[in-house]
Chains A and B, each alone.
Chain A
Amino acid sequence: MGGNYRYIGKQMPRMDAGAIVTGSALYLDDLKFQNLLHGKVLRSPYAHALITHVDKSKAEALPGVAAVLTWQDIPEWMGGTPRRLRVLDRKVRYVGDAVALVAAETEEIAEEALDLIDVEYEVLQPVLDIDSALKPGAPLVHEEYPGNIIPGGTKLLGPKCLKGLCTGDVAKGFSDADVIAEGTFGYENIPNALPAESVGAVAAWEDPDKVTVWGTSQAPYMDKVILSHVFNRAVQVRCIGSHVGGSFGTKITCWQIQTYAVLLSKATGRPVKVWLTKEEHLAAFTLRIGSRIQARVGMKNDGTITAIQGTWYVDSGYYSLTTQTQVAVGLGELMIMTQCPNWDLKTMIVATNRTASGCTRGFGGQELECSFMPLLSLAMEKAGLDPFEVLKKNYVRPGGGYFWRDGEWYQYGGIDFSKAMDAGAKQFGWKEKWKGWLTPSAVNGSKRRGIGVGVHGNADVGEDAAEAYVQLRHDGTATIFLCVAEHGTGQKSNYAKLVAEVLQIAPDRISMTPADSLVTPFEFGPVGSRGTYAIGSAVIAAAEAAKRKLFSLAAPKLGVDPGELETADGVVFARAHPEKSLKWRALGSDRTILGSGRFEPDFSLCNCLMSFVEVEVDTETGKVTLVRLVLATDVGQIMDPPGLEGQLNGCLGAAGVDSATFEETILSRSSGHILNANMIDYKWRTFAELPVIERVVLETPMPTHRFHGVGVGEVATSPGPSAVLMAVSNAVGTWLHEYPVTPARVLQALGKVAGGKGGGAR
């Protein structure tokens, strides 16, 4: 039951709705720049090679070409974690790695110039999966990382950054267990979040040391922070965001593309735009981490999990900015859903010769959970337990806690989510449909139905610092200064609602600055599910600070104490004597009032999403149809009903649930080429094949900010894939442990076709 608010929780048009439906909303590719050059990237045809010679003279001689840059022409700028990856290097490490950059008057001339660059390579043996990368004597992706193992931990998360879970006594835990399951399970189909808008950047360099970057990221201030480090903190960076055509986490790691534009602008003295084609977007931009767990789990017959021991292997591709953070957060998320006292879970980040991994919705937790759930399922089957009951029993609740990304233990301070889980199970009809493990819930000729369940939660709701300003003007309007680019969640409109509620003025009286790091204070950006609690808290604090200043100005004029004042609809009045009132206007048009707000990270709270899925398997063809999903959550307070619905329905796309049904990036494990780098061969769900989605959303007020809400957008995708695997296994009566459950894999599980790999790992 949500609070009774004037604006919060009410459906109202998004601030940008008119612009979006009329085509006037401006995305980066829609912006016009004077004197613009177009940048293109020459990409490696080899997964692993040394560049032995480059002749760029023919390219440079082509009329219309302004610059051609190779690794020999650029400063010692490096990125990634650890920050050791050169922007252009003498070595190429995946098919598509950048060899040279060209800036030209038109895209066509730039492309023609790429063909005129002569490159000689010394081809090296690549390592294209975890196994070959870890073999003794395997070729090294990076000479400085022996064994292809990239160091864990990141300075960003502090000296104790979580690199593994080691607590309690696992030997005792296993001896207390009634059942033990073990094995190796992976989530390695590296699905692509694939936002509709590609990735790009425009950079305008000003000598000697300034640059402005227009990007496709939803978090321009973090672009500034990341780029400042890449440029050795020797360049003043300003970053500006536009409308973002979907991100799903991915676009916060655009630093390489942005740096290409910066280098070309620096070399030419003109603004340069680098815009990835869809093929580049699919084959040369970041992908999900690959995840594999080799572990064992002990469980009592009552569903108590007693011990977890093993290693989580993470395929990071050739490099990453975010993998160490994803490992840290993923471990914490596993602890939130698995309140086990005894852990010995190590991690290993492995470099392979494929495109880099990056941030993707689910951020480590989805990948780990998708690997872990098949193992937990084996234990639950051995113990003959209903997975819904086990997941509910082991989810964090008051009195519990978890290690989080900074390596600290957090006592959980939130609500009990079991009420939401029960409501979801009831809506789904779980108890009626559950017939036991590896047992279909219904059989109709060759069609069999099965059900599955998954759960996920994330303490990222309060992660990272947030800052905002709110400015009041005499005309009864307000402006929010905030470095958030709208990427689809509708959060910018929600921030207007929060300010509207604090100031009691209509949301259409509130505007927002562009997401421009020169104009706004620091903001980490709308990533994870931090938008509602973390960013929302900063916005609320800024509005409250502005309101306090307003009252301190009005109080002497009204002859009352500021504490006695209220404001609504642009009028300040005394609470007990409403006739004592003053319009904002009376403060004068020569004055503005500025309040600032800051949020400090808080990891004591998490969100929760439980997904129930029902699939139908055609045992003749092997086709899996996702029939129905029920998503159950408690969000404390709904901010915007249709926005929440959209975020929850988003569970299907963005490398979410459909990464279990059919989505996969098909990487040639012999040459390193991505074989489906286009939107015809990379499959996506169409309107013609929509499952039924039902949402069960409770509103138990949470100890977050004054409106008691918590974000849930990011985790919508996470519990679904493993639930699909469980459902299909139950439908066909035998375990399926590989994502996605292609017809070939289903028929193989049914013994109808011979073995062999049916999916992406070939």
Chain B
Amino acid sequence: MATSQANRSTVQADRVRRVGFTVNGQYHQFVVGSGPNEVSPSHTLSWTLRNSLGLTGTKVSCDMGACGCCTVISDGKAVLSCKVLTVECDGKTIITIEGLKDRKTGALDPLQQAFIDHTAFQCGYCTPGMIMTARAFLNDNPRPTEEEIKEALSGNFCRCISHYQVIRAIMSVAEKGQ
């Protein structure tokens, strides 16, 4: 299930346009249109994740690409799901906060565990976006400096000011190269 299903992506038959992509290892295909259960060309990825797939772990705050709350990983890169149209996601492999656990063992991602251990959140609304941004970043750069972490997270808004505890949590994972 985890593999990208490129061969099953966009099918143009009977002038019905479809969009298909993998979320957390599961392939989903939608008809593009304005009917119930269809994906409208105006739907953002965050809207589809939250409303069509019920994946409400992805939070929407500013809804204009300023705050990073809605960050998910798409083909390995951290993206703002409020600034991506769902119809643009054909063939993509997307991971949301709900898909970060180890699918076989159920174990938390080391970053999730580190956020718990360091109480790296207060209200928690920005936390999924923080974790997804950090996960994509650490995948590319497993042993960053503190300054690099700050730079990587500089698009993530946190109003409670949990930044200091977030940096400690991410550094604790980075030091283990996880």
Contact of A21 among B112, B161, B162, B164 (CB under 8 A): B112
Q: Is A679 a contact partner of B150 (Cβ separation < 8 A)?
A: no
Q: In the complex, which residues of chain A have a beta carbon less than 8 angstroms from the beta carbon of B63?
A: 277-278
Q: In the complex, which residues of chain A have a beta carbon less than 8 angstroms from the beta carbon of B39?
A: none
Q: Is B123 a contact partner of A22 (Cβ separation < 8 A)?
A: no
Q: Is A197 a contact partner of B161 (Cβ separation < 8 A)?
A: no
Residues 634-664 of A, flagged 1 when their CB comes within 8 A of B and 0 if not, give 0000001011011101111110000000000
How many chain A residues touch the partner (CB < 8 A)? Answer: 58
Q: Is A21 a contact partner of B121 (Cβ separation < 8 A)?
A: yes
Q: How far is it, in angstroms, between the C-alpha of A134 and the C-alpha of B124 when the chains are bound?
A: 43
Q: In the complex, which residues of chain A have a beta carbon less than 8 angstroms from the beta carbon of B159?
A: 193-196, 246, 248, 653-654, 684
Q: How far is it, in angstroms, between the C-alpha of A287 and the C-alpha of B56 when the chains are bound?
A: 29
A224 at the interface (CB under 8 A from B): no
A693 at the interface (CB under 8 A from B): yes
Q: Is B158 a contact partner of A653 (Cβ separation < 8 A)?
A: yes
Contact of B124 among A194, A245, A645, A690 (CB under 8 A): A245
Q: In the complex, which residues of chain A have a beta carbon less than 8 angstroms from the beta carbon of B52?
A: none
A754 at the interface (CB under 8 A from B): no
B126 at the interface (CB under 8 A from A): yes
Contact of A490 among B69, B116, B119 (CB under 8 A): B119
A5 at the interface (CB under 8 A from B): no
A567 at the interface (CB under 8 A from B): no
B75 to chain A: closest CB distance in Å?
Answer: 20
Q: Is A687 a contact partner of B112 (Cβ separation < 8 A)?
A: no
Q: How far is it, in angstroms, between the C-alpha of A20 and the C-alpha of B127 when the chains are bound?
A: 7
B58 at the interface (CB under 8 A from A): yes
Residues 211-245 of A, flagged 1 when their CB comes within 8 A of B and 0 if not, give 00000000000000000000000000000000111
B76 to chain A: closest CB distance in Å?
Answer: 19
Residues 567-591 of A, flagged 1 when their CB comes within 8 A of B and 0 if not, give 0000000000000000000000000
Q: Is A197 a contact partner of B58 (Cβ separation < 8 A)?
A: no
Closest B residue by C-beta to A246: B123
Instruction: List A692-707 residues whose CB lies under 8 Å from chain B.
Output: 693
B101 at the interface (CB under 8 A from A): yes
Contact of B116 among A21, A30, A245, A647 (CB under 8 A): A21
B64 at the interface (CB under 8 A from A): yes
B157 at the interface (CB under 8 A from A): yes
B44 to chain A: closest CB distance in Å?
Answer: 13
Instruction: List B134-166 residues whose CB lies under 8 Å from chain A.
Output: 149-151, 153-166
Closest B residue by C-beta to A680: B66
Q: How far is it, in angstroms, between the C-alpha of A649 and the C-alpha of B159 when the chains are bound?
A: 10
If the complex has contacts A13-B119, A246-B123, are A646 and B66 also in contact, measured as CB distance less than 8 A? no
A755 at the interface (CB under 8 A from B): no
Contact of B96 among A23, A25, A647 (CB under 8 A): A23
B58 to chain A: closest CB distance in Å?
Answer: 7
A721 to chain B: closest CB distance in Å?
Answer: 15
Closest B residue by C-beta to A194: B159
Q: How far is it, in angstroms, between the C-alpha of A60 and the C-alpha of B165 when the chains are bound?
A: 51
Closest A residue by C-beta to B149: A687
Q: Is A23 a contact partner of B98 (Cβ separation < 8 A)?
A: yes
Q: In the complex, which residues of chain A have a beta carbon less than 8 angstroms from the beta carbon of B124?
A: 16, 20, 25, 243, 245, 488
Q: How far is it, in angstroms, between the C-alpha of A30 and the C-alpha of B46 when the chains are bound?
A: 12
Q: Is A678 a contact partner of B66 (Cβ separation < 8 A)?
A: yes
Q: In the complex, which residues of chain B have a beta carbon less than 8 angstroms from the beta carbon of A246?
A: 122-123, 125, 159-160
If the complex has contacts A642-B118, A687-B163, are A680 and B64 also in contact, measured as CB distance less than 8 A? yes
B175 at the interface (CB under 8 A from A): no
Q: In the complex, which residues of chain B have a beta carbon less than 8 angstroms from the beta carbon of A475?
A: none
Q: Is A27 a contact partner of B59 (Cβ separation < 8 A)?
A: yes
Q: Is A196 a contact partner of B61 (Cβ separation < 8 A)?
A: yes
B139 to chain A: closest CB distance in Å?
Answer: 18
Q: In the complex, which residues of chain B have a beta carbon less than 8 angstroms from the beta carbon of A346?
A: none
Q: Is A23 a contact partner of B150 (Cβ separation < 8 A)?
A: no
If the complex has contacts A16-B124, A649-B162, are A21 and B115 also in contact, measured as CB distance less than 8 A? yes
B57 at the interface (CB under 8 A from A): yes
Q: Is A13 a contact partner of B123 (Cβ separation < 8 A)?
A: no
Q: In the complex, which residues of chain A have a beta carbon less than 8 angstroms from the beta carbon of B79?
A: none
A689 to chain B: closest CB distance in Å?
Answer: 8
Q: Is B150 a contact partner of A197 (Cβ separation < 8 A)?
A: no
Q: How far is it, in angstroms, between the C-alpha of A495 and the C-alpha of B18 when the chains are bound?
A: 51
B108 at the interface (CB under 8 A from A): yes
Q: How far is it, in angstroms, between the C-alpha of A268 and the C-alpha of B126 when the chains are bound?
A: 34
Q: How far is it, in angstroms, between the C-alpha of A652 and the C-alpha of B118 when the chains are bound?
A: 20
Contact of A23 among B56, B153, B154 (CB under 8 A): B56
Q: How far is it, in angstroms, between the C-alpha of A652 and the C-alpha of B161 when the chains are bound?
A: 7
A686 at the interface (CB under 8 A from B): yes
A444 at the interface (CB under 8 A from B): no
If the complex has contacts A196-B59, A688-B151, are A13 and B160 also in contact, measured as CB distance less than 8 A? no
Q: In the complex, which residues of chain B have a beta carbon less than 8 angstroms from the beta carbon of A189?
A: none
Q: Is A679 a contact partner of B157 (Cβ separation < 8 A)?
A: yes
Q: In the complex, which residues of chain A have a beta carbon less than 8 angstroms from the beta carbon of B31?
A: none
Q: Is A687 a contact partner of B160 (Cβ separation < 8 A)?
A: no
Residues 66-103 of B, flagged 1 when their CB comes within 8 A of A and 0 if not, give 11010000000000000000000000000011101100
Q: In the complex, which residues of chain B have a beta carbon less than 8 angstroms from the beta carbon of A25?
A: 124
A48 at the interface (CB under 8 A from B): no
Q: Is A686 a contact partner of B127 (Cβ separation < 8 A)?
A: no
Q: How far is it, in angstroms, between the C-alpha of A126 and the C-alpha of B149 when the chains are bound?
A: 48
Contact of A196 among B55, B113, B126, B131 (CB under 8 A): B126
Q: How far is it, in angstroms, between the C-alpha of A654 and the C-alpha of B158 when the chains are bound?
A: 10
B121, B124, B149, B155, most chain A CB atoms within 10 A: B124
Q: Is A24 a contact partner of B57 (Cβ separation < 8 A)?
A: yes
Q: In the complex, which residues of chain A have a beta carbon less than 8 angstroms from the beta carbon of B131?
A: 21
Closest B residue by C-beta to A658: B161
If the complex has contacts A196-B59, A688-B150, are A14 and B119 also in contact, measured as CB distance less than 8 A? yes
Closest A residue by C-beta to B97: A23
Q: Is A687 a contact partner of B150 (Cβ separation < 8 A)?
A: yes
Q: How far is it, in angstroms, between the C-alpha of A23 and the C-alpha of B100 when the chains are bound?
A: 10
Q: In the complex, which residues of chain B have a beta carbon less than 8 angstroms from the beta carbon of A640?
A: 119
Closest A residue by C-beta to B56: A30
Q: How far is it, in angstroms, between the C-alpha of A512 and the C-alpha of B124 when the chains are bound?
A: 19
A489 at the interface (CB under 8 A from B): yes
Q: In the complex, which residues of chain B have a beta carbon less than 8 angstroms from the beta carbon of A195?
A: 123, 125, 159
Q: Is A489 a contact partner of B122 (Cβ separation < 8 A)?
A: yes
If the complex has contacts A21-B112, A30-B56, A277-B63, are A197 and B123 also in contact, measured as CB distance less than 8 A? yes
Q: How far is it, in angstroms, between the C-alpha of A277 and the C-alpha of B63 when the chains are bound?
A: 8
Closest B residue by C-beta to A717: B161
Q: Is A18 a contact partner of B116 (Cβ separation < 8 A)?
A: yes
Instruction: List A242-266 residues whose CB lies under 8 Å from chain B.
Output: 243-248
Residues 35-71 of B, flagged 1 when their CB comes within 8 A of A and 0 if not, give 0000000000000001000111111111110110100
Q: Is A23 a contact partner of B55 (Cβ separation < 8 A)?
A: yes
Contact of B119 among A32, A643, A678 (CB under 8 A): A643
B57, B149, B150, most chain A CB atoms within 10 A: B57
If the complex has contacts A17-B119, A646-B119, A688-B154, are A197 and B162 also in contact, measured as CB distance less than 8 A? no
Q: Is B69 a contact partner of A687 (Cβ separation < 8 A)?
A: no
Q: Is B116 a contact partner of A13 (Cβ separation < 8 A)?
A: yes
Q: In the complex, which residues of chain B have a beta carbon less than 8 angstroms from the beta carbon of A687?
A: 149-151, 153-154, 156, 163, 166-167
Q: In the complex, which residues of chain A have a beta carbon less than 8 angstroms from the beta carbon of B20?
A: none
If the complex has contacts A21-B112, A23-B57, are A278 and B64 also in contact, measured as CB distance less than 8 A? yes
Q: Which 8 A-B pairs have the closest CB atoms?
A: A23-B57, A245-B125, A488-B123, A23-B97, A642-B119, A488-B122, A20-B124, A30-B56
Instruction: List 28 interface pairs A-B (beta carbons < 8 Å), by A numbering.
Output: A14-B116, A17-B115, A21-B97, A21-B112, A21-B131, A23-B55, A23-B97, A24-B98, A27-B59, A197-B61, A197-B123, A244-B123, A245-B59, A246-B122, A488-B124, A490-B122, A646-B122, A653-B159, A653-B160, A654-B159, A654-B160, A679-B67, A686-B154, A687-B149, A687-B163, A687-B166, A687-B167, A688-B151
Binding site for A on B (CB under 8 A): 50, 54-64, 66-67, 69, 96-98, 100-101, 108, 112-113, 115-119, 121-128, 131, 149-151, 153-167
Q: 8 additional contacts, CB 8 Å, given A27-B125, A196-B157?
A: A13-B119, A18-B116, A21-B116, A194-B159, A244-B123, A490-B122, A679-B66, A687-B149
